[in-house]
A and B are shown apart, each in its own frame.
Chain A
Amino acid sequence: MAKNKVRKTFLEPLGKNNPVFVQILGICSTLAVTNKLQNTMVMTLGVMFTTALSSWTISLLRNHIPSRIRMMVETMVIATFVIIVDIVLKAFYPEMWKQLGPYVGLIITNCIVMGRVEAFALQNKPTLSLIDGLASGLGYAYVLLAIAFVRELLGTGSLWGYRILGSWWTNWSIMIMPPGGFFVLAILIWIIRETIMKETNHA
């Protein structure tokens, strides 16, 4: 029974309860860096770290936080973890830190982090919340990595900074520009919803 619950908690955010497709949450802060796979990887790792650990922390504190100021407390906890991410990046990967600019800080306002804390961590045990946060982060990460994959491949003909497509490939520069992000996300949502809808119709 307990094992089942853990499994369910872990798998739901990856599939039918994916934060990006179903709730369209949290795309703001990261969509801007999806023009390069590498940047997206670093950002999504940051989001995963923050979501998992702040869910865990809030869940530990859940019986001690007065409900009137819970938003404030949640924001503080989230901000603390984001600051850790920021400092680590700045110390070990200064180049990456420069490229990401303000977007690391914007993880604080990523709706997914706050959403998971509000919806899940406040009612559940720490370990389960940690798993939920991690899974939500993962569900988020693979969607954004997919977007980055398409954008970088079509936009620059390369992946992870290495040239994949030969010189015959004409770069679709629209892909690495802002509109490309909107289009790719929309098409991805289209495909996913179409498949989900078909499944539910059959069932």
Chain B
Amino acid sequence: MHDALLPLSVFFASIFTSNILLTNYLGTCSFLSVSKEMKTSLGLGVAVIFVMATTTPLNWLVYEYLLLPFGLEYLRFIVFIIVIAAFVQLTEMTIERYSEPLYQSLGIFLPLITVNCAILGVCLFMVIREYSFFTSFVFGLGSGIGWFVAIIAMAGIRVKLKNAKVVPALEGPGITLIIAGFMAMAFMGFSGMIAVS
């Protein structure tokens, strides 16, 4: 793979072939609970894109210039989570300031972004795969979009599902997980298009 093309392929791979939610199961908790409604899914999806696209490069800088020179790599979990928490706080304040209804509908879910495994997961993947600064940014953005696509698709399906008869025991998380499985299968159809290690 040509080096100049790497960011591009990472971008598409993180949306389709290695979707952070459907192939790595990251962020499943909030995915299952939020995808009930289209509106909240949209809000959370956008918030995730924003937080991922900003925190991943930020954490790259912190890792490269703060942790590596002092040999503090083992502290990365703590440091990454602090950066993410600070950013989530910022997002929360921004949304509260500019869009009251969105803030109301997201409610308790915004703080949940801090413990959204997908965000920390992307940062940890970036370290392990040794991406450059720009590639990390693209990877964060792409993963965010991938998560957004998955949750929107699921919310759309679940809207239709309201009219369907589901076995009582499968209602809610059960059927959502089965649908997620089928979505993961559908997304596997993309594999082979782009391969990124």
Query: Do A182 and B120 touch across chains, with their CB atoms under 8 A apart?
Result: no
- B contact residues around A86 at 8 Å (CB): 74, 77
Residues 71 to 126 of chain A near chain B (Cβ within 8 Å): 71-72, 75-76, 79-80, 82-83, 86-87, 101-102, 105-106, 108-111, 114
Instruction: State whether B128 touches A182 (Cβ < 8 A).
Output: no
Q: B121 in the interface, Cβ–Cβ < 8 Å?
A: yes
Which of A6-14, A132-140, A159-167, A187-195 lies at the interface?
A187-195
A182-B180 in contact given A80-B78, A105-B124, A190-B174 (Cβ < 8 Å): yes
- Looking at the assembled complex, report how far the CB atom of A184 sits from the nearest CB atom of chain B, in whole angstroms: 9
Please classify how large the interface on chain B is, using the bins under 10, 10 to 19, 20 to 34, 35 or more: 35 or more
A186 touches B121 (CB 8 A): no
Chain A hits for B173, CB < 8 A: 24, 186, 189
**Number of A-B residue pairs having CB atoms within 8 Å of each other in the complex:** 125
Per-residue B-contact encoding for A15-38, CB less than 8 Å = 1, 0 else: 000000000111111011000000
Asked whether B174 lies within 8 Å of A179 as measured between CB atoms, the reply is no
Contacts known (A28-B25, A76-B78, A111-B115); A102 close to B174, Cβ less than 8 A: no
Provide a sorted-by-A list of 24 A–B residue pairs whose CB atoms are within 8 angstroms.
Answer: A25-B29, A26-B29, A27-B29, A28-B25, A28-B27, A29-B117, A29-B121, A75-B85, A83-B74, A86-B74, A87-B74, A101-B125, A102-B121, A102-B124, A110-B117, A111-B115, A179-B184, A182-B177, A182-B184, A183-B178, A183-B181, A185-B177, A186-B170, A189-B170
Query: A-side interface residues toward B, CB under 8 Å?
Result: 24-29, 31-32, 71-72, 75-76, 79-80, 82-83, 86-87, 101-102, 105-106, 108-111, 114, 174, 177-183, 185-186, 189-190, 193-194, 197
